[in-house]
Amino acid sequence: MRTTESEKLYRRAVEVMVEGVGSASRGPATFGDYPQYMRRGEGARLYDVDGNEYIDWMLAFGALPLGHAHPKIVEVIGREIANGTHFATALEVEVEVAELLTKLLPHAEKVRFANTGTEAAMACIRLARGLTGRRKIVKFEGHYHGWYDAVLVNTNPQLPAALGHRFDPVRIADSSGLTVESWRDTVVVPWNDLEAFERAMDAHGRDAALVVTEGVMANMGVIPPKPGFLKKVQEIARAQGALFYLDETVTGFRVAAGGCAELYGLKPDIVSYGKALGQGFPVAAITGSKAVMEGFEWGKVLHYGTHNSGRLALYAAKTMLEEMLKDDKAGFRRLADLGQKMAGRIGKILAGNNRHPATVQSVTSMFQIFFTEKESIDSYRDFCSHVDRRKFRDFVRLLHRRGIFMSPSNTLHSLSCVAHTDRDIDLTADAIGDALEELR
């Protein structure tokens, strides 16, 4: 596979852009010497500037449940862009999308729209502090809630010795430019460790405004919660007077129509959504009960934004929801079926491979491969200690050469979209088998 045009573009890009890309996850730190520059997408396919075709399992980091250039999305956005891009006024379509969400999600009595998952998380944390009068927040190791200073700790892989004891994790800032004050009130707890969580809440629960968690740890591949873990977290948070905040930026409209709240039988106080909600457009949503969401009223807890409720993004969100909910939520069933089929095929290939010990972990439409001797990766500490991320990166680069597009970062994951087919799964499985044979 030739990528000479991508290489040329990269040489131009590094002269005028930081790392030659708009985000570090798209650059050479992840993709090697230079990334592929994509020109167009259609269905489950991406096409780069050299004309190479890829089966896309990255899907804009999970933002495309309908796949690329879905005909209905193209039709609606083509129609609406002719009526204007953005008004920064009240809109009929925002009412319609909010009605869809409150009908679909039992915990969502009121909705506030934002632009990104990071912004939504910032607003949720401020809301919880405003409602409770408390300052501390409790988060889990390895969980990513955007690049807001207060939660930008313990989200990147670290040397195991740096993590500290599980009952008193060392808080590790993930960026320069963070002040100690910004995360002084952030309590970090190991994921899937109920004893450690109970100890932390005994010590800090009375001062905690909220406990925030992903439904599935999606910033370390795919690490599901242990059975009953999230329900217990919800119960303990409430017992201490802290709000239970479920961050569904990644899992919302992906793992089920009602996300992890539906999948694991949760009743969160606050939930935020992003990625898949906008079908490729930047939009996020904050939802919760009336009692919680009314904290935003009249700017009591401030959340403004010129680009809140972007009309094109909301038309995309409305169309995505309508398409996925057709025929009694058939789109969501298809996502899960395709994701589980792909994960199942990968599992069989890995089981028959003696050269590279590995496992695949999945939750409905999400899946990830870990090169490890362990049977499963259950926590951030497992990931830091037992996963060969370099081998995974080399493996995915071999897949790229075979026309399979996944993220080379083992901290991310792959996903299905409704445009994938059984033939795509067959082709991907063949490529995985060949890549494992070539992998050193």
Tokens read off for 437 = 């044979």
Handedness of CA 159, 165, 170, 171 (dihedral sign): positive
Contacts for 346 with CB less than 8 Å, ≥ 6 apart: 360, 367, 369, 429, 432
Question: Cα separation of 367 and 398, whole Å?
Answer: 18
DSSP letter (8 states) at residue 116: S
CA distances from 137 to 193, 225, 317 (A): 18, 20, 30
Alpha-helical (H) ranges within 152-301 are 194-204, 229-239, 259-263, 290-293
427 in Cβ contact with 79 (< 8 Å): no
Q: What is the DSSP letter of 256?
A: B
Beta strands in 72-175 (DSSP E): 110-114, 136-140, 164-165, 168-169
User: Catalytic site residues?
Assistant: 144, 247, 275
What are the structure tokens assigned to 302, written together?
């401030």
